[in-house]
Amino acid sequence: MLKNSRNNAALEAGQNYSMVSEFILVGFSNFPQHLLPAFFLLYLLMYLFTLLGNLIIMATVWSERSLHTPMYLFLCALSTSEILFTVAVTPRMLVDMLSSHRSITFVACASQMFFSFTFGFTHSFLLMIMGYDRYVAICHPLRYNVLMSTRTCARLVSWTWAGGSVMGMMVTLIVFHLTFCGSNMIQHFGCHVFSLLKLSCGKETSSVTLGVILVCVTALMGCLFLIILSYVFIVAAILRIPSAEGRHKTFSTCVSHLTVVIVHYGFASIIYLKPKGPHSRDSNTLMTTTYTVFTPFLSPIIFSLRNKELKNAIKKSFQRKFSPLST
**Rounded to an integer, what distance in angstroms lies between the CA atom of residue 223 and that of residue 260?**
14
Are residues 163 and 129 in contact, defined by beta-carbon separation less than 8 angstroms?
Answer: no
Using pLDDT thresholds of 50, 70 and 90, give the confidence band for residue 16: very low
293-326 burial, b for 16+ CB within 10 Å, e for fewer? Answer: bebbbbbbebbbebbebbeebbeeeeeeeeeeee
User: At 104, which helix (H) or strand (E)?
Assistant: strand 103-105
Residue 157: what are its φ and ψ, rounded to 5°? -65, -40
State residue 222's pLDDT score: 93
Q: Is the pLDDT of residue 95 over 70?
A: yes
Using pLDDT thresholds of 50, 70 and 90, give the confidence band for residue 9: very low
| CATH superfamily, domain at 32-274+285-308 | Rhodopsin 7-helix transmembrane proteins (1.20.1070.10)
**Rounded to an integer, what distance in angstroms lies between the CA atom of residue 180 and that of residue 182?**
7
Calculate ∠ Cα 90-94-98, nearest 5°: 165
Q: Identify the residue with better confidence: 143 or 10.
A: 143
Interval 102-119: pLDDT, tens: 888 888 999 999 999 999
Lowest mean pLDDT among 83-92, 131-140, 216-225, 278-287: 278-287
Lowest mean pLDDT among 50-64, 126-140, 193-207: 193-207
The mean per-residue pLDDT over the stretch 213-240 comes to 92
**Rounded to an integer, what distance in angstroms lies between the CA atom of residue 231 and that of residue 256?**
13
Partners of 19 in the beta sheet? 181
- If you average pLDDT over every residue of the chain, what do you get? 84
289 burial via Cβ count (<10 Å: 0-12, 13-18, 19+): buried
**Rounded to an integer, what distance in angstroms lies between the CA atom of residue 292 and that of residue 49?**
14
CA nearest neighbour of 272 among 216, 229, 201: 216
Residue 105: what are its φ and ψ, rounded to 5°? -70, 165
The amino acid present at 167, given as its one-letter code, is M
**Percent over 90 (pLDDT), the chain:** 38
**Rounded to an integer, what distance in angstroms lies between the CA atom of residue 246 and that of residue 82?**
33
Lowest mean pLDDT among 49-63, 178-192, 206-220: 178-192
Interval 135-186: pLDDT, tens: 999 999 999 999 999 899 999 999 999 999 999 999 999 888 888 777 788 8
Q: Is the pLDDT of residue 224 over 90?
A: yes
Domain residue ranges of the chain, discontinuous segments joined by +: 32-274+285-308
